[in-house]
Amino acid sequence: MPYPLAFALTLLVELPLYTVALTAVGRVPAGRALAAGTAVNCATHPLLWWFLSRFAASAPAACWTAFALAEAVVCLVEALLVRALVGPTRLAPVPALTTALTANAASVLAGLLLTAR
């Protein structure tokens, strides 16, 4: 999948999830929640794509291992970033991590479903 399409798909899937979760759990205004979701994806997605491209020609086991580790790091980084952006008093660490895990799992699943052969 070309990068622009992958990034668009990520935003299409993750932004509604970030917005709903942050407004419901953190009582963050919808515009701020949407901006935070966009910002964390702009910070992590290009780096994730660059990192994973280094494993494109590797054995499948190496690709999947790199993918799993990279996604775990992305979830942690996004949780930290979104918490910092909306204010740590609004969003505790566990809901921040749960939100990042849910959003990233949904976009990974969407990507896998679209690229399944």
Tell me what pLDDT residue 26 has: 83
Say if residue 112's pLDDT is above 80.
Answer: yes
Tell me what pLDDT residue 56 has: 87
Q: What is the pTM of this model?
A: 0.94
pLDDT in tens, 43-53: 999 999 999 99
pLDDT in tens, 60-104: 999 999 999 999 999 999 999 999 999 988 899 999 999 999 999
Give CA–CA dist 95/57, Å, rounded: 36
Give CA–CA dist 117/97, Å, rounded: 31
